[in-house]
Amino acid sequence: MRKSPVFPALACVLGALVSAAPAAARDLVSFDSGKLILTNGITTIEGSGGGGLATWATISGMGTDRAVGISAHVTGVELPDFRLDTHGIAAGIRDRVELAYARQNFNTRNVGAALGLGRGFQFNQDIFSAKVRLAGDLVYGPGWLPQVSVGVEHKRSLDAAVVRAVGAKASAGTDFTVSATKLFLGASVLANATVRWTKANQFGLLGFGGDKRAGRSVQFEGSLGYMVTSRLVVGGEWRTRPDNLGIAREDDAKDLFAAWAVARHVTVTAAYVDVGSVATFKNQRGGLLSLQLAY
């Protein structure tokens, strides 16, 4: 039987958890909230720490390497023919390990009737993710060395029969990411690059793999932000995506965002989002609004 690549990745994550566990246990109730404002990032639509679309190397929560951090988010994306709602929670252990869960609800509105699914049919997906910081620091350390993290995101559709009916090869799948992120304080610029190994259709909402491509492919996520003030960051993101389904072409996703730290523990993010074609419906451009609480 062919060995799945999921198990080595999970073994790496579990190893990091074991090494972090004794120190984490000592500081289990310590929430020092010591990170600089906004340096914990916001939360992606998949629940991991990062931007709105792109995963970053950052670890969720405001806890430093001496404490535990937690965060929770709710996000809505309004498009001409669809609506995506996500909510979830994440924990950061000593700024080294991140564990997160998110639920995605994708409402097809009138498109559901046109596709024979029924008006307002909703695709639902659970996402369980983990991330480990391997090297570097977002803010401190050598200017040439970014913070580098590896991550795993296991996605599970709750509408298995439907996603298979539209051509997906599977209703569950696992993405693997490698991210490098750096904040250049002198220039007030944040830069991120992520490589994702995935076979997800529309972030996994339409299943995994298809008639055009059944296996994983390498995709890229890039982010660039400018800190207008210590509490306001503006920027943009670009995310390439696989095009696996013959019946539904998939385009790159991009956004222009503004993240505002209303208070130390509260961040509001607004963005213009363009995800291109979704389930044969083109020009899906709209707005994203997200609220994050972090400690």
pTM, two decimals, is 0.88
What CATH number corresponds to the domain at position 89? 2.40.160.40
What pLDDT score does 19 carry? 52
Could you give the 3-state DSSP secondary structure of residue 248? coil
Location of structure tokens 């400690």: 295
Q: Write out the two tokens for 123.
A: 């695709």
Q: Is 287 left (phi over 0), alpha (psi -120 to 50) or beta?
A: beta
Could you give the 3-state DSSP secondary structure of residue 39? coil
Distance CA 12, CA 132 (A): 9
Residues 100 and 89 sit within 8 Å (Cβ to Cβ)? yes
Distance CA 141, CA 145 (A): 7
Residue type, 285: R
Q: How many domains does the chain have?
A: 1
DSSP result, 85-129: EEEEEEEEETTTEEEEEEEEEEE-HHHHHHTTS-TT-EEEEEEEE
**Where is pLDDT greater, at 88 or 29?**
88
Mean pLDDT value across the chain:
91
Q: Is position 263 within any domain?
A: yes
Cβ density class 64-80: b for 16+ within 10 Å, e for less: bbebbbbbebebbbebe
Q: Is position 1 within any domain?
A: no
What pLDDT score does 123 carry? 95
What pLDDT score does 201 carry? 96
Distance CA 290, CA 270 (A): 7
What pLDDT score does 2 carry? 42
pLDDT winner (highest mean) among 33-37, 94-98, 111-115: 94-98
> Which pLDDT tens digit goes with each residue over 151-202?
999 999 999 999 999 899 999 999 999 999 999 999 999 999 999 999 999 9
Q: Is position 113 within any domain?
A: yes
Q: Is position 226 within any domain?
A: yes
Distance CA 234, CA 231 (A): 10
Q: Is position 173 within any domain?
A: yes
Domain extent for 249: 6-294
**Where is pLDDT greater, at 27 or 231?**
231
Share of the chain above pLDDT 90, in %: 80
> Which pLDDT tens digit goes with each residue over 75-85?
999 999 999 99
> Which pLDDT tens digit goes with each residue over 272-281?
999 999 988 9
Distance CA 45, CA 65 (A): 26
**Where is pLDDT greater, at 2 or 153?**
153
Q: Is the pLDDT of residue 29 over 80?
A: no
Distance CA 239, CA 183 (A): 20
**Where is pLDDT greater, at 30 or 207?**
207
Q: Is position 54 within any domain?
A: yes
> Which pLDDT tens digit goes with each residue over 32-57?
999 999 999 999 999 999 999 999 99
